[in-house]
């Protein structure tokens, strides 16, 4: 709340941004906590960050600036919710990991753990590329009951557990819109 009004998307007038679920101040505090936990666990070893685009964009930008460890940053693109979908259509890999990650400690970062298929697929790709260890970090996780049988059941680091609603903001989108909202809000009226 308190931010500037967001103009309606001209060709998509029905869904709208509803109540704020996680305000920006809480996000900032939690990102600090996550960074401390990650630093402690990696214990000075270099981190290979793999950011799942595009949803993790804002989260990764904030998180990495709180991690003093030596790191490389790779962008991975996996699309599960094409266009106006609000349910996972299954992950499609658009850009995968670099060919050789032998010996590297990878931290895969995504915005949301929902069915878990996206992260499961990403973990498999990074293992295949030879990573020594692959850990996972998400800003928000929907309830474990929504996980698919073939999805990743849990992430190693979770910012917030949220109800099974469709959210936008802080990088998360509906039809590629609303990523720029500073808070996490519930999308209402979408279909």
DSSP assignments along the chain, one per residue: --SPPPPPPTT--S-EEEEEEE-HHHHHHHHHHHHHHHHHHHTT--EEEEEEETTTHHHHHHHHTT--S-EEEEEEEEESS-TT--S----EEEE---S--TT-EEEEEEEEESSSHHHHHHHHHHHHTT-SEEEEEEEEE--GGG--TTS----SEEEEE--S--EEBTTB-BTTB-TT-SSEEEEES--
By CB under 5 A, tell whether 151 contacts Mg ion: no
Of the two residues 73 and 86, which places its CB atom closer to ligand IMP in the complex?
Answer: 86
Residues 49-68 that bind Mg ion (CB under 5 A): 55
Q: Is 33 a catalytic residue?
A: no
Residue 88 interacts with, from Mg ion, ligand IMP, none (CB under 5-8 Å by kind): ligand IMP
By CB under 5 A, tell whether 171 contacts Mg ion: no
Of residues 114, 173, 175, 183, which has the active-site annotation?
114
By CB under 6 A, tell whether 88 contacts ligand IMP: yes
Residues 111-170 that bind ligand IMP (CB under 6 A): 111-118, 166-168
Residue 81 interacts with, from Mg ion, ligand IMP, none (CB under 5-8 Å by kind): ligand IMP
Q: Which residues bind Mg ion (CB under 5 A)?
A: 55
The binding site for ligand IMP (CB under 6 A) comprises: 52, 55, 80-81, 88, 91, 110-118, 166-168, 172-173
What are the catalytic residues? 114
């Amino acid at each position: 709340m308190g931010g500037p009004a967001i103009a309606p998307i001209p060709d998509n007038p029905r869904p709208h941004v509803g109540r704020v679920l996680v305000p920006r101040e809480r996000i900032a505090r939690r990102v600090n906590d996550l960074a401390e936990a990650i630093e402690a666990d990696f214990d000075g070893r270099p981190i290979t960050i793999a950011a799942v685009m595009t949803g993790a964009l804002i989260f990764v930008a904030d998180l990495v600036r709180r991690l003093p460890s030596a790191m490389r940053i790779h962008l991975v693109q996996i699309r599960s919710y094409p266009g106006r979908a609000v349910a996972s259509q299954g992950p499609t890999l658009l850009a995968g990991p670099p060919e050789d990650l032998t010996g590297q400690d990878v931290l895969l970062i995504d915005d949301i753990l929902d069915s878990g298929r996206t992260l499961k697929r990403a973990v498999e790709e990074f293992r295949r590329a030879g990573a020594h260890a692959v850990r996972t970090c998400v800003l928000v996780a929907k309830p474990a009951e929504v996980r698919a049988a073939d999805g990743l059941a849990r992430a190693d680091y979770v910012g917030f557990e949220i109800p099974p609603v469709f959210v936008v903001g802080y990088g998360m989108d509906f039809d590629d819109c609303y990523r720029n909202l500073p808070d996490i809000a519930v999308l209402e009226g979408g279909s």
